[in-house]
Structure 1
Amino acid sequence: PTVEEGPGSLTFNLVQSKLRRLIERTSFAMAQQDVRYYLNGMLLEVQSGLLRAVATDGHRLAMCSMEAVIQQEGKHQVIVPRKGILELARLLTEQDAEVAIVLGQHHIRANTGEFTFTSKLVDGKFPDYERVLPRGGDKLVLADRQGLREAFSRTAILSNEKYRGIRLTLASGLLKIQANNPEQEEAEEEIVVDYSGSGLEIGFNVSYLLDVLGVMGTEQVRLILSDSNSSALLQEADNDDSAYVVMPMRL
């Protein structure tokens, strides 16, 4: 299909490895076969100097931004289908080479000289992700990412296979992680964290937490919570370009 280079289309160049990182950090949160078809893909939002990728399946949300040389008044949003995004990430193999992106009315095109990739866009309205981002969480936890990941992985083994629920109990300097399953088996882990606020008990789908920790790169992770009914915000401790939201679970 031809991508209209006409009015309303937008062209910009990105370093391949940076675009690939943007996709890899967010694509896991895309829905797979949701009736809300616009969730089965990734939102790419461009504004002057910035490209942002957002994906959500209604239970969790992933967002990552990168600086880019883009001339654009206001914000322009497109939704790229799931299959297209995964294929594009697979094609971006050159570390430092650039890829030229053209956003048309109904298509996206990526061109590197080695390949030209074209995908239809999803015709739909993506949810307002700004409203999903939790604001005003007063419980800030700093933890070792790898230690947390290993503790979650061990606890997950005894969580309910269908619902994957784990219970987090937060106290000063300590995070307790518990899981049980219909066979009455129980797992409990304790991990030392940097936290000095009041206590909190909250449930999560452990798979969603592991997905987030798996794409992060820093040693320390920042977890911001408010109460047991509010979503958690996860970020790398020293890096603000990505944000992850995970909804709580009733246990």
Structure 2
Amino acid sequence: MKFTVQAAPLAAILKQCGRVASKKAGDINGNFLIDVQDGHLNVTANNGHQQMSLHLQDPSLIVREAGSVCISASKFEQIVSSLPVDRDVTVSVGEEKATVTCGRSRFSIATLPASSFPKALHSDGQVQTALTIESHALRDGIRGIAFCVARNDVRQYLNGMLFEASEGKLTLVGTDGHRMGMVELQIEKSSSMKFILPVACLEDVASFASHGYVTITHSGNLVSFTAVNGTMTSRLVDGAFPNYCALIERAETGQLINLNRDAITSAVARVSLLSDGKSQAVRLKFCQQTVEVVSVSNDALSEAEDLLPCDFDAAPFDVGFNSRYAQEAFKAVSSTDLQLFYSGPASGTLIKAKDCPHQKFVLMPVRL
């Protein structure tokens, strides 16, 4: 096997696949499968839970000898990334090693037969359902609420993002039990689909969905995302996702407050500097047409407060929030016209943009 290609496009595809490859020393899943055929190059990474296979079709690619090989993902990526981006790289594979040359630089890496690479992920044989969505919509939807998803919760079903398709829309939901984010994306009519995508591959899918359209195929315990540049496949999280519809419907019945997104976000950031504890909680005191943001501290000599105007005309109330959670939710709202719906001290507060009903956040209060 032998091919020549410019360093920049090769480094880009190796970096993306490298996110999936295992980082454990000596693990067979820490290798790339490089497959070169006439006019195209394919790179595959598989860690046992996710698999990414990307195509490289670049004008600079010259295939001198077709073939396939298994090669160390980290070493190969590091070598190619260290080379000048505008120079050509030649990779030739012999009996048990690959030689990488670029100008006067030369590297030799041990290889394994292509047959050593882990087998592709296969579903349990259940009926497939599929839908197609614009790449940028999927990417922005995932990134817009990914911060709400739990990372290492004992409730495994929280360690992933819910994908639910029905009636011409794809709903994405993430929660860690303290906050929740939901976004609805428009799609062509499709069969119903529902699964939980692991948090570990959310950013992989988002970066994979770079342009054009993505086809999502769900079959049993697997889901695949297919675009013009390749396919990303992942195992799914088991369990039943919480009833997010009931939580949102309950929160939407609360008192409405209109605020400026940037003003309230900045005020919470400033005031929380003098708040104590891991959550650095802040107290929001709503009164006639104003909201006072106050720090929460055990030190009687340390206090911060900020007063902002708001559109509110009802009985005064106080509510406490984790300052970081509040800032992340406020920043994620797509408009500067922010709306809060307060339903009481034991319920979540709904946060959304005034002119965007398709994106909503629910923030649970903290005890002060």
Provide, for residues 80-129 of structure 1, a one-character-per-residue CA deviation record: whole Å limited to 9, x for no partner.
Answer: 000111211122222xx111111111111111121211111111111111
Q: Tell me, what secondary structure is at the counterpart of 1:23?
A: helix
Name the CA distance, whole Å, in 2 between partners of 1:27 and 1:148. 22
Q: What percentage of aligned pairs have identical amino acids?
A: 27
| 2:262 match | 146
Single out whichever of 226-235 and 116-125 deviates more from structure 2.
Answer: 226-235
240, 259, 270: which one aligns with 1:125: 240
Superposition map of 1:24-173 within 5 A: 24-72=143-191, 75-94=192-211, 97-133=212-248, 134-135=250-251, 137-173=253-289
TM-score, with length taken from structure 1 = 0.93
The AA in structure 2 aligned to 1:162 is K
* Aligned-residue offset at 1:55: 0.4
What CA RMSD, in Å, does the superposition of the two structures yield over aligned residues? 1.7
191, 205, 208: which one aligns with 2:325: 208
Whether contact under 8 Å (2:251, 2:349) holds in the other structure is: no
| 2:138 match | 19
Name the CA distance, whole Å, in 1 between partners of 2:305 and 2:162. 38
* Aligned-residue offset at 1:165: 1.1
Q: Tell me, what secondary structure is at the counterpart of 1:18?
A: helix
Whether contact under 8 Å (2:341, 2:351) holds in the other structure is: yes
The AA in structure 2 aligned to 1:156 is S
Whether contact under 8 Å (2:340, 2:349) holds in the other structure is: yes
TM-score, with length taken from structure 2 = 0.64
* Aligned-residue offset at 1:217: 1.9
Name the count of aligned residue pairs: 247
* Aligned-residue offset at 1:6: 6.2
Whether contact under 8 Å (2:261, 2:331) holds in the other structure is: no
Whether contact under 8 Å (1:46, 1:70) holds in the other structure is: no
Moved over 6 A (4+): none
Q: Tell me, what secondary structure is at the counterpart of 2:274?
A: coil
Provide, for residues 52-89 of structure 1, a one-character-per-residue CA deviation record: whole Å limited to 9, x for no partner.
Answer: 000000111110001101322xx531000001112111
The AA in structure 1 aligned to 2:305 is E
* Aligned-residue offset at 1:26: 1.3
Unaligned 5+ segments in structure 1 are none
Whether contact under 8 Å (1:3, 1:104) holds in the other structure is: no
| 1:243 match | 360
Provide, for residues 14-45 of structure 1, a one-character-per-residue CA deviation record: whole Å limited to 9, x for no partner.
Answer: 11100011101211100010000110110000
Q: Which has the larger radius of gyration?
A: 2
* Aligned-residue offset at 1:181: 2.6
